[in-house]
Amino acid sequence: MKILAIAQSKGGTGKTTIALNLLAASSEAGHRSVLVDADHHAAGSTVMVGFSPPERSLSAVLRHNVHPLEVAHLVPEFNCLVLPGSYALSDLPQDTPLNALSDCVHSIASEPLDISDQAFSPDLVIIDCPGGDVAMTRMALYAADCVAVPMNFSALDLTANETTINLIAAVRELRGGRPSLAGIIPNRIQRGDSVARDLAFLVASRIPLLPTIPESNLIRRTGSAVDIGRRVVVMSHPKSSAAQQFRQLFGVLNGDRPWSREDGLRNLAEQLRTTAEELLPESEEAERGMALQGTPA
């Protein structure tokens, strides 16, 4: 079982959209998954299973030692379990153990749910982390095997991204190098985006770029669909470029597809409708400036 955290301290970067489409791609690939909605906004689990009161959510697991399978929902369309979030996650007791979420996740794997005479033993757990909640994000990182960081490419997002990278580094120090940092997910990238083009090498010189998710009206429309099978673009528009990028992202994060720093730059360049060479600095002085940025711990 692999535990993947989708984490970014800044809100509005697409964590939930990415998590739900990764669930759909996982289901297409024949895997069983679990969505842990660690966000007090609970957008992901609300899309999947509707509103969940605190006593029927992850909050009850972390506060009152309720077994997670008592509040989890089976979603056959996605071949997954959903552990819903709630607003009560925003004010957990300060003495909540750092390993509380890790214990929760591993208890699901150790006591598989019996469904239709078949044990539901997950291959993948996706933790949808909150924006702006450092304590919960730290717990999620403490539970995860690897972490992917969505990022909208702007100067402000680049600055805010440092909070997330520093938090990951702090948890990695506590856990002896875990979770592994899979890379940055360039998100909502538009064709010809000059800001994304200018920032690409600055980001990629420090942290690998994962497959790019394009700006797409299809992605924004799907969450409110009546049919749950059409609430993510991977299922609603399976042949779209956005769906293909989500599948590619899943393949990389799941270890099914080799990926390099060069692949990340090339893929971003394709979405920008430019070339990877144009994302590189124009002079040796620029290259030296990038090198001074260092690498994450």
Please write the tens of the pLDDT for every residue from 211-256: 999 998 888 877 667 788 788 999 999 999 999 999 999 999 999 9
Give the pLDDT confidence of 132-190 residue by residue, as tens digits: 899 999 999 999 999 999 999 988 888 889 999 999 999 999 999 999 999 999 999 98
Number of H helices, E strands in the chain: 12, 10
**Average pLDDT of the segment spanning 80-108:** 94
CATH of 2-291, one of 3.90.950.10, 3.40.50.720, 3.40.50.300, 3.30.70.100: 3.40.50.300
Could you tell me the CA-to-CA distances from 15 to 118, 127, 213 in Å, in that order? 31, 10, 11
28-44 mean pLDDT: 96
CA atoms within 13 A on the CB side of 292: 6
Q: Is the peptide bond before 186 cis (omega within 30 degrees of 0)?
A: no
pTM: 0.90
User: Looking at this protein, which amino acid is placed at residue 168?
Assistant: I
